Amino acid sequence: MFFNNYENSLRKLPLKGLYQKEDLLTDEFLYAKEGKVEVYWAPFEYINKDAKVIILGITPGWTQMELAFNYVRHHIDEEEYEHLISNAKNHASFGGTTMRKNLIEMLEGIELHKFLKINSCEQLFNDEHSLLHTTSVLRYPVFIEGENYSGSSPKLFSQEIFLRMIDELLVPELNQVKNAVIIPTGKVVSDVLRYLVDEGKIAHELILFNFPHPSGANGHRREQYENNKNTFKELLIAAGKRGQFQETINQLKPSEDQMSELIKHLKIIGEELKRGNDLKERNSYNEKRLLQLADEIEPYDHKIALVIEHLLR
């Protein structure tokens, strides 16, 4: 967990509305360096193992780095570690003026939301972010002489530092989210995934190769998208028929906090039902209280039923 290595330096950052490169591209946050290539740590370590979709970029840019640092610095004393890094990643992923908007439009165009049974792909970045895992071929932000690395110069496969990050960070990360559909954004990302598949390092059933990068600077984005749009749809339909978008038992299983709260509510309900059984006006009491209890347990009943159904199989 690299967060611990940088936490003290992060806490020393002054609280600001917007950080500049001189605030964050410092020796305190330098992860690795090779020639002109500089890699800086950023809080992008959260892995959503139950995600149905992985959206994969080449590397976080400066905008995403600033957004993630900004979120963590302002919430580090308010949120537990897991929530903190999850929220920071969700806040920053494909953030910026147009990138997330373009990405959502393309995902809507291939009707990904219908397979995920949600109303809009925009929900993946807010109330349905549990379905999504975002990451990058190079997990941490890469800069060439202070500018965002685009994946072309230097060539990704020509740098030992990049190959190390792929083997040590990306491969284990993807293999923890085994059942997800991978959407690689851009040619370089697709090339890396083809290499990993050919080498047997990952074994995901569905990868939407040739999905364009959502950056507004990608002049070929619309043409690339239209040329492959129907293929993407057909692949999603086939994946849906294989059951790739169905809930897994891990997703049905309540979290420890949910289970603790559920047990507490069930104990209260049991005690009240027992007490109601001893009342003279038992029938009228129970009828009224059962209606109230139904309302109280309603947020849990779907998950309870699904877990019980699974256990009885």
Residue in the block written with tokens 């110069």: 153
| CA–CA separation, 60 and 93 (whole Å) | 8
- The pLDDT assigned to 119 comes to 94
The more confidently predicted of residues 127 and 290 is 127
Q: Assign residue 3 a region: left if phi > 0, alpha if psi is -120 to 50, beta otherwise?
A: alpha
How long is the chain? Answer: 313
Q: Which two tokens stand for residue 240?
A: 């849906």
CA dist., res. 85 & res. 76, Å (int): 9
Q: Where are the beta strands (DSSP E) in 48-120?
A: 53-57
Please state the rounded mean pLDDT for residues 152-173.
95
Candidate from 239-243, 261-265, 286-290 with smallest mean pLDDT? 286-290
H or E element at residue 88: helix 81-92
Q: Is the pLDDT of residue 248 over 70?
A: no
Task: Give whole-number Cα distances, 269 to 262, 264, 289, 294, in Å.
Answer: 10, 9, 10, 10
pLDDT of res. 250? 46
Distances from the Cα of 6 to the Cα of 11, 31, 75, 77, angstroms: 9, 10, 16, 15
- Whose tokens are 């530092």? That residue is 161
pLDDT band with cut points at 50, 70 and 90 for residue 277 = low
Residue 221: the pLDDT is 83
DSSP 141: -
- pLDDT tens digit string along 25-73? 999 999 999 999 999 999 999 999 999 999 999 999 999 999 999 999 9
Whether residue 167 is predicted with pLDDT greater than 80 in this model: the reply is yes
> Does pLDDT of 81 surpass 80?
yes
Q: What is the model's pTM?
A: 0.76
Is the pLDDT assigned to residue 306 strictly greater than 80? no
Q: In this model, does residue 302 exceed pLDDT 60?
A: no
Instruction: Scan for tokens 């290499």, then name that residue.
Output: 195
C-alpha 90/C-alpha 288 separation (Å) is 43
- Which pLDDT belongs to residue 161? 95
The 10s digit of each residue's pLDDT in 201-227 is 999 989 999 999 887 777 788 899 999
Residue 298 has pLDDT above 70, yes or no: no
Percent of the chain with pLDDT strictly greater than 90: 62
> Where does the pLDDT of residue 94 fall: very low under 50, low under 70, confident under 90, or very high at 90 and above?
confident
Q: Could you give the C-alpha distances from 32 to 138, 145, 268, in angstroms and in order?
A: 12, 14, 55
CB 96 within 8 A of CB 63: yes
Half-sphere exposure of 116 (CA within 13 A, CB side): 25
* Percentage of the residues of the chain whose pLDDT score is greater than 70: 81
- Predicted confidence at residue 297, as pLDDT, reads 61
At residue 139, the pLDDT reads: 96
Higher pLDDT residue, 38 or 90?
A: 38
Judged by DSSP in three states, 148 sits in strand
At 228-237, the pLDDT tens digits run: 999 999 999 9
Element (H, E) at 143: strand 142-144
